[in-house]
Amino acid sequence: MLGPPGAGKGTQAGRLAHSRGVPKISTGDILRDAVQAGTDIGRAARSIMESGRLIGDDVMIEIVRERLGRPDAERGFILDGFPRTVKQAKALDDLLDDDEPLVVVDIEVPEETLVRRLGSRRICRNCGRNAVPGLTECAKCGGPLVQRRDDGADVMRERLRVYAHDTHPLVEYYRRRPTFRSVDGDQVPDAVAADLAAAVASVIGDRQ
C-alpha cells in the first residue's frame, strides 16, 4: 500500500488486513518487533536509529524478509510502509512467489487535505501510538495526546515534497503493472475502504 503521510495507509491497511484475514505488516511494527526480539537485524536497526540515521535499504530488506517468512504470512499480507525505494521493490519481487500476484494500491490525496489532516493528528506522549480522532487520552495507555513535532504545516509541506520526489520512481516502477491500482483517498474512511476492497478484488477476487 503506497501513499503520502496522512493518506490513511495505516488505518486502511488494518481494515483491509482484517477483512482478508491476513496480517498487516508495517515497517514500524517490524522494526519494533526486531529490536524487542534482539535479533541480529534488530540490533543493527537499534544501532542505526540511536545514531540518528535512516534505516538503509539492505537492513530494511532483511527485516522484511524475516517477517514474511513467519507462518502467519503464508496466506498473504498487507504491507504498509514497504517498499519505499525501487531497490526495496525489486527485493520484494525476489522474495515473493511468482504464482501469487502483488497488488499495489496507491492512495491519492491532495496536498491541502494532507496538511489539514496531519495538523489535527495527535499521538500519545508516553507510548507514541497514533490517537483516534476525538479522543482526549491514549486508548492504549491513557497517556496525554500531543501533536508530533513533524506535523506542523511548514514541516509537513517539506515532508510531502520530499515524499513526492523520492517515491515518484517507485510509483512509476509499479504503474505499468496490471496489478497496480490507485484510489481516491480524499473521502470518508468507509468510502476509501470500499474502494480499496474493490481494487484488490479486481485483481485477486474475493479469495482469502
Is 95 within the bounds of a domain? yes
pLDDT in tens, 62-91: 888 988 999 999 999 999 989 988 999 999
The question of whether 148 is a catalytic residue gets the answer yes
Query: How confident is the model at residue 181, as a pLDDT?
Result: 97
> Are the C-beta atoms of residues 1 and 79 closer than 8 Å to each other?
yes
Three-state DSSP at 77 gives: coil
Catalytic residue among 15, 67, 117, 159: 159
Catalytic residue among 87, 116, 148, 157: 148
Is 4 within the bounds of a domain? no
The set of cell numbers assigned to 59 is: 537492513
Query: pTM (2 decimals)?
Result: 0.75
Catalytic residue among 20, 67, 84, 122: 84
Is 16 within the bounds of a domain? yes
| Tally of domains in the chain | 1
Query: How confident is the model at residue 129, as a pLDDT?
Result: 67
Report which residue type is found at 137: E
Query: How confident is the model at residue 196, as a pLDDT?
Result: 96
The question of whether 159 is a catalytic residue gets the answer yes
Is 2 within the bounds of a domain? no
Is 3 within the bounds of a domain? no
CATH number of residue 125's parent domain: 3.40.50.300
Query: How confident is the model at residue 44, as a pLDDT?
Result: 79
Catalytic residue among 9, 117, 122, 181: 9
The question of whether 84 is a catalytic residue gets the answer yes
Is 187 within the bounds of a domain? yes
Range of the domain at 126: 9-204
Sign of CA dihedral 189, 191, 195, 200: positive
The question of whether 90 is a catalytic residue gets the answer no
- Three-state SS string over 80-139 comes to ECCCCCHHHHHHHHHHCCCCCCCCEEEEECCHHHHHHHHHHCCEECCCCCECCCCCCECC
Residue-level pLDDT, tens digit, the chain, 208 residues: 998 888 889 889 999 999 999 999 988 777 777 777 888 878 877 777 666 566 788 888 988 898 899 999 999 999 998 998 899 999 999 999 777 889 999 999 988 888 777 777 677 877 766 766 667 788 778 888 887 654 556 667 777 777 777 777 899 999 999 999 999 999 999 999 999 999 999 998 865 5
Catalytic residue among 116, 121, 129, 157: 121
Distance CA 33, CA 19 (A): 23
Is 75 within the bounds of a domain? yes
